[in-house]
Structure 1
Amino acid sequence: MRGLNAALMLGVLGSLAVDASSQEVKHGSAIYTCTNAAGRTLTRDRPIAECMDREQRVLNSDGSLRTVLQPSLTSDERAVHEEAERRKAQERANKQEAIRRDRNLLARFPNEAAHNKARDAALNATRSGIQPRSSAWPTCRRSASRCSTRPSSTRARTCRASSRGRSSRWT
């Protein structure tokens, strides 16, 4: 009696599951299709386990293509794919940064004359700062017996010409 009741319950539950799945297909759920290794076309209402290593087409209830599921990747393939995605993202970021820099330059310098004027002003400030310093440093001649002193901000030192075969340098 128990066996009969269990079988009857399984039959009822099974028919309910079949009815529910057939209603899902009727109400617009996806249809998965793929071609297996033997060349046979498989069609199911959920992703096909036998085709996890192959491309699966997901169709709408009217047969139009909704999307394509790519095959599952191995860990090596996944690492290569992630690295390629990282490179693409970096290239996109670099391109966006270049566009941003160009926009900022155009906003700051609307034409070449404005750019040259600002450039000359910046270089003149640098040039004027360099000019007095270069004249303050002494020159040292190798043939002289003594070198001139350093600027007054440091203590004066002399270098001796080579009576011992050394070249003259600051000591």
Structure 2
Amino acid sequence: MKIFKPFNIIPKIKGLLIIWTIFIIIFGQLGIWAILISDSSRFFTANIVTGNFYTFSIALLASSVLTFAIELMNFEEIKFKMLKIISLSISFLLVSIMMLLFISLPENPSFAQIFFQIFLYLISLISSIYFLCLQHLHIDYDNYTELDDKSINTLLYRASQNVETDGRGAKL
């Protein structure tokens, strides 16, 4: 499926993915692992009750959203713009859902609440890797041109230009 094609860039960004995993995934989860060191018998339940998996997932998606938002604000012509806008939308939706679930998290969560916390945590990890791949598709642009939306970039470029005539020669 075309939607999963950005994952194919992983072999070309192996070094970046390793560094990203170390700094974002491992260091980002130090709060989760700190409970393991302090109270290993309650590792899982303490993280669930405090909502640490939601917190990390929100931070993980926020870092991905930031790179897309900066690119959208600072550059006129952006490769894979539609995919990035859809990714931003999905991230905002996931973050909103997690915030609502985090706010309503009881002291004794049910199985369904535990399941959703872990499920959204895994979805956030996979989404962040996907967003990292999407951010670096330009490295091998020729293999991903069908994912790009050149017509949108052309339309946005034309819309940003100063209009001096009405298209029939009459000056405005």
TM-score, scaled relative to structure 1: 0.20
Structure with more of its chain in helix, by fraction: 2
TM-score, scaled relative to structure 2: 0.20
Give 1 or 2 for the bigger CA radius of gyration: 1
Higher relative contact order (CA 8 A, sep 6+): 2
